[in-house]
Amino acid sequence: MPITLPPMNRRRFMTGTLGGIVTGLFHPVWGAESEILSQDIWAFLSDTHIPGDRNKTGGTPAIKPVEHLVKIRTDVLSGEIGKPGGLIVSGDCVYLQGLPDDYKTLLEEFAPFRNAGISVHFVMGNHDNRQAFLNAAAQSTGESKSNSSRTKIPNRLYSIIETPKANFFLLDSLEKTNHTPGLFGEEQLQWLADELDSRKDKPAILVAHHNPDYSANIVKAPGALQDTAAFFDRIRERKQVKAYFYGHTHTWKTLRMNGIHMVNIPATAWRFDQTQPFAWVFLKLKDNGMSLTLRSIDSEHPKHNEVLDLAWR
């Protein structure tokens, strides 16, 4: 099921569909100026919390999520540290309740990325609403109709993006809109395991919204991924899994679990800890790992331009 908005005005090809699930969703891009955008370079954003009304504020102290996104968009499109071929938002794309107007504004604000030849992928968070998103996406891409019943697993939006150096698995941990905890569910975890088993030869990078419960005691992490243990059971021994990217906590943090890089993408909208940056993350895939560069809205933030070179297990 596509949760992807392809670049506009560019020639591209899709690598195929299978039982309603689109695999190899990445669209190789040829720019009008014969510029080929790299499939090794990605922009990661999270918790954009875009409201329908561009002037609406949120968080404490109050900020305008659209204003933040515009600043980040300018930085991404400047290509100052490299031009991404794709962009992934790891959930909480819209304000709080997943309203139709929120998605209209969200897609309008992301159109400049698509106009620049960048494929844009949205992951669902606990403040998203699948059907509202799909309706808006169908309108934006000119499809007559789009609904989540087309997916093999009902009420989940997930996909695989195949690129030369890694496969990205976009997962859906939205359990209920405006309800904090997340859940993959057994069906999606089995799908993930099966798809990983058929792609053993290439590094796998998993992306979803919710943070794992690192305490292994969900009572202590009520807002985290409720089926963390089952998730880890599926990925621990599948050595092609190299990284898990997530948002939700509005925090920039990396750590390792069983050699897997756990990367917490910070929010572009409000923060819960005032020392955290409002930022996006520039990812460059390498043959044996990846490098991450944090790009803060505030260039004076101590983490701005922090570069992490992370080797694959």
Residue whose token pair is 């090809």: 13
Shortest gap between Cβ of 270 and Fe ion (angstroms)?
A: 8
Shortest gap between Cβ of 100 and Fe ion (angstroms)?
A: 19
Residue 157 · residue 151 · CB < 8 Å: yes
The two three-digit tokens of residue 301, written as one number: 């933030």
Shortest gap between Cβ of 92 and Fe ion (angstroms)?
A: 3
Shortest gap between Cβ of 34 and Fe ion (angstroms)?
A: 39
> Applying CB under 5 A, which part among 47-55, 178-186, 225-233, 238-246 lies near Fe ion?
47-55
CA 232 to chain centre: 19
Say how far apart CA 269 and CA 50 lie, in whole Å. 8
Secondary structure (3-state) at 4: strand
Shortest gap between Cβ of 223 and Fe ion (angstroms)?
A: 10
Q: Which is nearer to Fe ion, 234 or 248 (CB)?
A: 248
User: DSSP alpha helices (H): ranges in the chain?
Assistant: 65-78, 100-115, 130-141, 186-197, 228-235
Residue 245 · residue 171 · CB < 8 Å: no
Residue 297 · residue 71 · CB < 8 Å: yes
> Applying CB under 5 A, which part among 67-75, 84-92, 214-222, 257-265 lies near Fe ion?
84-92
Query: CA quadruple 310, 79, 297, 51: dihedral positive or negative?
Result: negative
92 binds Fe ion (CB under 5 A): yes
> Applying CB under 5 A, which part among 92-100, 109-117, 159-167, 271-279 lies near Fe ion?
92-100
Residues 249-288 binding Fe ion (CB under 5 A) are none
47 binds Fe ion (CB under 5 A): yes
Q: Which is nearer to Fe ion, 94 or 116 (CB)?
A: 94
The DSSP code for 53 is S
Q: Which is nearer to Fe ion, 81 or 99 (CB)?
A: 99
Q: Which is nearer to Fe ion, 22 or 267 (CB)?
A: 267
Q: Which is nearer to Fe ion, 127 or 284 (CB)?
A: 127
Say how far apart CA 196 and CA 212 lie, in whole Å. 19
> Applying CB under 5 A, which part among 12-20, 89-97, 111-119, 166-174 lies near Fe ion?
89-97
The dihedrals phi and psi of 311, each to the nearest 5 degrees, come to -85, 150
Shortest gap between Cβ of 145 and Fe ion (angstroms)?
A: 29
Shortest gap between Cβ of 172 and Fe ion (angstroms)?
A: 15
Q: How many CB atoms lie within 10 A of CB 214?
A: 13
Note the residues at the interface with Fe ion (CB under 5 A): 47, 92
